[in-house]
Structure 1
Amino acid sequence: MNNNLKRESSMAAVFSKEYDHNMTIEELKETLNESDEFIIIEFEESQKHIVEKSIWEVSLKLQYLPMVIESDTGNESEETKNNDELIFYIALIEASSITEDLPEVFSVNTVQEKDYIEATKCKYAIHISTIFNNFPLSDYQRQLKLLNSIASDVSIFLDISCFTARSGEWLKYTSTFSLPPSLDYLYTIHAIYDDDKNPDKIEYWFHTHGLYRVGCIELEIIGVEDSNAAYGQLLNTCAKLFIQNGVPESGFVFSPSYKVNVCWLAWEEALKELNIDKDFSGGFKDRKDGVHDNPSGALVAVDKKGNYRTLDYYKKELTDNPVFLLSGFETEIMRDAAFEKFEYFLELLNKNKGDDKISFLVKLGYNNNKSNKDLEHLWFEVHDFTKEGYFDATLLNEPYKDLGMHEGDRGMHSIENLTYWQIHTDKEMYNPENIYLLFS
């Protein structure tokens, strides 16, 4: 991470119609004092009013429960305490300051119309910001939980740093995770296209919002015209690699997908190197809105001779069932989420066994040896789950490795191999991240 790049993580929650009220600072104090997750080190009312249309503002320093780390010196009495501290800036604001331009600025595809209408009728909202000081995903979850505890009943949630709006139910449910089930909660990817010039030759511009709050550069893909290639997934993979491993030097070549070599260049340099017209989507004309004018790195293809190309150079590799890197860490937090919310999966499975309108899938990790490394993750359709912890399931895809099983084989598989699950209905697909929608 680069602390020089790091910016604030800002969120807001608009109260629900029933909860909407002029919350006082004393109410905030009472809520904070009820928490057993942190100790209040500093609490100070601010007169700066740096948040738009704020009614009151508070600066808050919290120390989260210390993590005790055993020393490697062999002396059991010698311990190191990792005291995780965060400084939050909390404000009660007029809700209209964030709802009046919401559809034009924020991605609202996960917000139901009734929630949006309710939010526009509410007077008050809570705004909360912080600079991540520890592992980004941990601090993101702490920010979510703090916001949820302060605004206990909300209509919509806004992740201002990545221009994404979600329902109040999403905030309440996601706050129950020990960690969010993916690094992509930290940012969002926007895809902009321009079909005005030539409907048969559409320009696409993919870019991220939110990576600056974790000390990474924002990333983008410009100069592409193929809508079938998995450019969004490529950008997603690179963003996660940068969060975990740090931002490599500009021009450093790496492979986020099989047979695909890329590097990043400053977007101005990329436009020049790729000879992209200034009026192309993602060009200079799109950087003057105060939203897309931050420093950003554009991913470019690197051919065998080291020449820079647009990523359409790899459109075949990124269209024909591409394979992307998935780190062990990402797999582990997905696995944790799958187990953490498995009760939902099991409850629905027991209620709907034999119903051909709903299917239950699990992803299980296998290897052809006893090692837990380099697992191949395979999808199975579940028919039943035994009291002993075994899935009665059919393999849905042919393994790359010699695992002694083939597509279409039905057998018993231990829950210990579980890494993810999905539930498919005729209308929607559900997983540990959105299963609350079926129970709300």
Structure 2
Amino acid sequence: MFNFFKKKQNEVEIPQVQPMAAWEENSYMHVLSNLVDDENIDGARERIEAIEGVKLTEFNERDDGSGNLTLEYKGEEYGVGFYFEEFTLESLYSLQNQKIHDEDFLEIQEKDTSFVIHMNFNKNYFDSYHLQLKLIMAFFPDALAVVDESAERLLSGRWVKLAAESSVTPNAESLFTVQAVFDDETKKVWLHTHGICRTGFSEFELLDVSQDNANDVYYLLNTVACRVLYQNEAIEDYIFLGEFIDGNEIVVAPLPWNVAIEKYPSNILGGPADRVDSHNTNSQVIFLFLSEEDANNGKYTKPSEVEDKLIENPLYYYTNEQTDHMKFMARDRYELLRNAILENPSYRALIKVGLPTDGEDGKPDYENLEHIWFELIEFTEEGFKAVLTQAPYRVASMKEGDEGEYTVNDVTDWIIYTDEMSIDPNTAYLL
């Protein structure tokens, strides 16, 4: 979910907002592989030209293996640079090995050379990110791992391969990470994103979060980031993000970090002392408006002041774009689900199905679906048979325990439960 780091705080003046670093403005990725060790990119040009939808217009390689290329992809032009450099696996990446196969991680730790590929993201940053993964696999089909420097994330080479070969772009959560810095004395946590700046939007943060509640409050930050990325629209003043359990709306109102930290004590974690050398460029801190009156009067509430509401199962809204993306990825990787269950009878699977809701005229409304979980019973020639795990809210004719037969075109998400973990379409590389 996110990585924890310890941090101590000293009081300083509020620093000035700084220009973004190269790895914030552009997308920088480091490739690790055996071919990288040999600094060998033989055949890369031909493999790039073979990528569907790519028109390579320029490819320049120097004697040291560095170079640049220009290409067109889905109607957009991209400039890409690349070079080899010395590599050391930083400690923050070593914390992420829970999603890397053990045998792969042992090899990763031994690598001392990386191949850096960097590029600007165009207006469709989902396509841009997808293209960068495709280029990585074209340069190094044996990629063992990729360090996404812009998002400060270690990616499994198996995930990169699956994502590059998919007809669906990676999801919004692939574009950024959420890091958690904590203070042993105050038991407070500072949550912040990395990776969003390269899309043209700001990073997001939460300050003064209780360590005990960080896992729950995290979803507020994650949902804000996903909303902005899926809707491709910055938050001008505020947005409606969902509902608290009491039915009141969750209204998010971010402020630039240099304005936001003035609303907190100067010695807070994520305060001025933590902005001297980093986290001082394009980032916004999340606040809440608790009422229309608050919004009209500019009364900002710190999420830490209403943590009790944020941990009581708030309902966060999914955008249509996010729901569609989940659906397309689940269908694109449906055969991975099917094969895994058929090859491993002990595995259990839940499949989310979009059910047409009850229309005002009593007929099924196929324009408005209720997405609900079924437990897989068995696969059929046409699809699968499954049993409903809960009663729908807006489909009166169905109840928990009802069985039905569905096809891949009804699927909007799925989860496999193995003996060790749960696996969804995005983490299907773990199968």
Normalised by the size of structure 2, how large is the TM-score? 0.83
State whether residues 389 and 400 of structure 2, in contact with CA within 8 Å, keep that contact through their aligned partners in structure 1.
Answer: yes
CA deviation string 1:292-333 (max 9, x = no partner): 222210011222241212113443432222211111111112
Structure 1 residue 32 and structure 2 residue 22: aligned?
Answer: no
Residue of structure 2 in register with 1:41 after alignment: 57
SS at 2:267 equivalent: coil
CA deviation string 1:52-105 (max 9, x = no partner): xxx4421211012x5xxxxxxxxxxxxxxxx321111111223x2xx24x2246
Tell me the CA shift for residue 45 of structure 1: 4.3
Tell me the CA shift for residue 46 of structure 1: 6.5
Structure 1 residue 225 and structure 2 residue 210: aligned?
Answer: yes
CA distance in 1, matches of 2:330, 2:93: 32
Tell me the CA shift for residue 117 of structure 1: 3.5
Structure 1 residue 211 and structure 2 residue 196: aligned?
Answer: yes
Residue correspondences, number: 392
Residue of structure 1 in register with 2:5 after alignment: none
User: Using a 3 Å threshold, how does the CA distance of structure 1 residues 415 and 403 change in structure 2: closer, same or farther?
Assistant: farther
Structure 1 residue 14 and structure 2 residue 2: aligned?
Answer: no
Tell me the CA shift for residue 372 of structure 1: 3.8
Alignment of 1:166-181 (within 5 A): 166-181=155-170
Which runs of no fewer than 5 residues in structure 1 stay unpaired? Answer: 48-54, 67-82
SS at 1:398 equivalent: coil
SS at 2:391 equivalent: coil
Which runs of no fewer than 5 residues in structure 2 stay unpaired? Answer: 1-18, 244-248
- Structure number with higher helix proportion: 2
The AA in structure 1 aligned to 2:376 is V
Structure 1 residue 241 and structure 2 residue 227: aligned?
Answer: yes
Structure 1 residue 393 and structure 2 residue 386: aligned?
Answer: yes
CA RMSD of aligned residues (A): 2.5
Identify the match of residue 373 of structure 2 among 376, 379, 386: 379
SS at 2:426 equivalent: coil
User: Using a 3 Å threshold, how does the CA distance of structure 1 residues 29 and 386 change in structure 2: closer, same or farther?
Assistant: closer
Tell me the CA shift for residue 247 of structure 1: 1.0
SS at 1:213 equivalent: helix
Residue of structure 2 in register with 1:23 after alignment: 40
Residue of structure 1 in register with 2:318 after alignment: 326
The AA in structure 2 aligned to 1:407 is E
Tell me the CA shift for residue 122 of structure 1: 3.5
Tell me the CA shift for residue 352 of structure 1: 4.2
SS at 2:281 equivalent: coil
CA distance in 2, matches of 1:262, 1:431: 29
Residue of structure 2 in register with 1:52 after alignment: none
Tell me the CA shift for residue 427 of structure 1: 1.2
User: Using a 3 Å threshold, how does the CA distance of structure 1 residues 116 and 85 change in structure 2: closer, same or farther?
Assistant: same
State whether residues 181 and 336 of structure 1, in contact with CA within 8 Å, keep that contact through their aligned partners in structure 2.
Answer: no
Once the two structures are aligned, what percentage of the paired residues are identical?
28
Alignment of 1:149-168 (within 5 A): 149-168=138-157
CA distance in 1, matches of 2:235, 2:85: 39
Normalised by the size of structure 1, how large is the TM-score? 0.82
Identify the match of residue 91 of structure 2 among 96, 100, 103: 103
State whether residues 125 and 199 of structure 2, in contact with CA within 8 Å, keep that contact through their aligned partners in structure 1.
Answer: yes
User: Using a 3 Å threshold, how does the CA distance of structure 1 residues 42 and 348 change in structure 2: closer, same or farther?
Assistant: closer
Tell me the CA shift for residue 337 of structure 1: 1.2
The AA in structure 1 aligned to 2:399 is H
SS at 2:185 equivalent: coil
Identify the match of residue 351 of structure 2 among 357, 362, 369: 362
Between the two structures, name the one with larger relative contact order (CA 8 Å, sep ≥ 6).
2
CA distance in 1, matches of 2:208, 2:290: 16
Tell me the CA shift for residue 414 of structure 1: 4.3
